Amino acid sequence: MKNKHLVLIFLLLVAAVILSRKQFGKRERSFEAVLIEADTSALSAIVLQPPDGDEFSLTKEAKGWIISDGVRSAAASPEQITKLLGSLQLIESRQIASKNRDQWQAYGVDEQQGFRVRLYRGGKVTHDFMLGREDFDPQNQSIITYLRMTGENTVFVTDGAQVMSIGRDFDSYRNRVLLRMKRDMEVTEFNWESPDTAFAFVRTPTGWVLGDSLLDSMAVENYLNVLRNISGDQFADDFDEMQAEQYLHKTMTIKGNNIPEPFVIQCFQDSLRQPPFLIRSSQNARSFFKSDSAGLYQKVFPDAFY
């Protein structure tokens, strides 16, 4: 009798172990450690849709990525694109926050609050997901972000640092560079031209000169060092490029060693605008930057060294 009880207990234990393993296996399979694993070199477009703004896209072209919202079109920042693609290569989940659709709003991954990201290869969507709100994980002392794959109920917890480089608005991806020169580029001449005047600044064995006047060469070099890496702040998207020539105020041309094509910076002035100056360069020809007389304009066209 006792032996029968022992056998029965043994069989019950075996059944319990098998059942628990099956349940554990189901839980393990329901948890996806890798959520996004994209071959970023093959992506042709990335479409981003903020919860409270218009959808915009990043499209890969031969010369780089272009950002567009259907009205505006501009060159995207190479640095921001590199960070974005780095984030999209691999996004992993720490754990499941919820499997309940009713909890989407609480985690910010519903259609009204979520930031939608779609990745394209050719004309086909390869990944489609919602980024939700950020939170602080006191246990790991780190920022977390909630993520939901579009069309699925499950809300995952991800490392906030993994998705931090996915910008949430149009301007965060724009190329703000006005001029950037490599280290081996040596400026030997630059010219300022306006409708009624022209100045030619030339490097000579004895220093920088303007016509017959010897300039403070240290001041000129300091000025050129500023120009080696200069960016704009405010974009002037409403400026009509087709009418730009009638507002042309000054043009700067930079030549030198290891500069294959001269850099050209144009300044336009429209007295009806505030601020009145608009500046663009041949290095980033699609972008016009706003400036007053003390901002970007003064950095490009100062009067202190001559």
pLDDT in tens, 100-139: 999 999 999 999 999 999 999 998 999 999 999 999 988 8
Write out the two tokens for 231. Answer: 């960016």
- 């020539």: which residue's tokens? 245
For the chain, the helix, strand and coil percentages under 3-state DSSP, each to the nearest 5: 25, 40, 35
C-alpha angle 127-129-130 in degrees, rounded to nearest 5: 165
How far are the Cα atoms of 100, 155, 156, 260 from residue 103, in angstroms, in the given order? 6, 8, 12, 58
Q: Is the pLDDT assigned to residue 14 strictly greater than 70?
A: no
CA 299/CA 106 separation, integer angstroms: 48
For residue 26, pLDDT over 50 is answered with: no
The string of pLDDT tens digits covering residues 151-205 is 999 999 999 988 988 988 999 999 999 999 999 999 999 999 999 999 999 999 9
* DSSP per position, 211-230: TTEEP-HHHHHHHHHHHTEE
